[in-house]
Amino acid sequence: MCCGNYNTNLAKLISKAIMDATFRERFLADPMGTAQEFGFSEADRNELARYEPQKLRAIVEGPRSRS
């Protein structure tokens, strides 16, 4: 999907953010809180925390945000 070694939970969360504009805005506003609501383990949240906010935005919004 995007960036190498991500787990299935992270892939599902990112996929939902790509497909659902309302969820995407909530996710981008609070990625860690959204991940916790999504049932992420501490290890999953730690993996998500490694992503810079700009990188997460580029991933879920697509190419237009990368320019």
List, for residues 6-64, the tens digit of each pLDDT value.
578 888 999 999 999 999 999 999 999 999 998 998 988 888 899 999 999 999 998 76
What Å distances lie between residue 41 and 12, 14, 59, CA to CA?
Answer: 14, 16, 22
Q: Which residue has the higher pLDDT, 65 or 31?
A: 31
- 38 neighbors 9 (Cβ within 8 angstroms): yes
What Å distances lie between residue 20 and 2, 12, 15, 43, 54, CA to CA?
Answer: 17, 12, 9, 25, 19
Quick one: pLDDT at residue 1? 40
Considering the entire predicted model, what is its pTM?
A: 0.76
Quick one: pLDDT at residue 4? 45
